[in-house]
Amino acid sequence: MSYDINGRRPDARAGERFEHRGNWETIVNCVRRLVPAETHAYENWHFNNGDGLDAELSIALADRLERCLAEGVVESYVAERDAYLAQHPRRECHVCDGTGIRCDEAGRKAGYPDRIVADEPKGNPRAGKVGWCDRCDGWGTLKEYGSYRDLYVSDVREFIEFLRHSGGFAIW
Ligand SMILES: [Zn+2]
């Protein structure tokens, strides 16, 4: 399911639209876990039927999440989630045949075999090595957990910003 999260009466650009980069469900799961009281009454988080929170609830939720951020609760949630997902095995990348270097025609044209693997985000076992693959970011392997999306503390921070300026929002 795809989701467009639009502000009802935005008073700033940040409140017009929430750019969740495909991880809306991940963010919602995080938010509902961290602030059950403020999110419990509303049940349609995972439906794109134009429903959503009104302005008052959006601000209340923003305030509550802000406190979670300050207390480091968001950070621990993300860290625990990452640690859990890291236990999943990785599978070989079919685009570079597990080498981390994309040498097919498209890859050669784009200069990937000469590209140096970046050290960001951290943890890439081939960081600093020559030769890159756009499918696996030069790892040679891919995360196995297909539908899981990355979640960063900054996602929650951006959501708070959106809540504050959205004037309530609708999920489409
Ligand atoms: Zn690859």
Same domain, 157 and 138: no
- The reply to whether 15 and 30 lie within a common domain is yes
Q: Are residues 118 and 94 in the same domain?
A: yes
Say how many Å lie between the CA of residue 85 and the centre of ligand 1: 20
Pair 40, 55 in one domain: yes
CB distance 60 to 31 below 8 Å: no
CA of 92 to the centre of ligand 1 (A): 8
127 in the same domain as 42 = no
Report field, pTM of the whole predicted structure over 0.75: no
pLDDT of residue 147: 58
Residues 67 and 93 in one domain: no
Mark whether 40 and 60 lie in a shared domain.
Answer: yes
The full DSSP string for 25-51 is: HHHHHHHHHH-HHHHHT--GGG--SS-
Claim to verify: residue 69 and residue 16 sit in the same structural domain:
yes
Residues 11 and 54 in one domain: yes
Q: Which domain holds residue 35?
A: 5-82+151-171
19 in the same domain as 49: yes
Looking at the structure of the chain, the number of domains it has is 2
| CB 138, CB 100: distance < 8 Å | yes
Looking at residue 86, what is its pLDDT? 79
What pLDDT, in 10s, does the model give residues 68-97? 999 999 999 999 998 888 787 888 999 999
Residue 53 alpha carbon to ligand 1 centre in Å? 41
Calculate how far, in angstroms, residue 135's C-alpha sits from the geometric centre of ligand 1.
Answer: 5
The DSSP output letter for 148 is -
**Whether residue 73 sits in one domain with residue 12:** yes
* Cβ atoms of residues 109 and 118 within 8 Å: no
Q: Quick one: 66 and 20 in the same domain? A: yes
CB contact at 8 A, 28 and 139: no
Q: pLDDT tens digits for 37-58?
A: 777 767 788 788 888 999 999 9
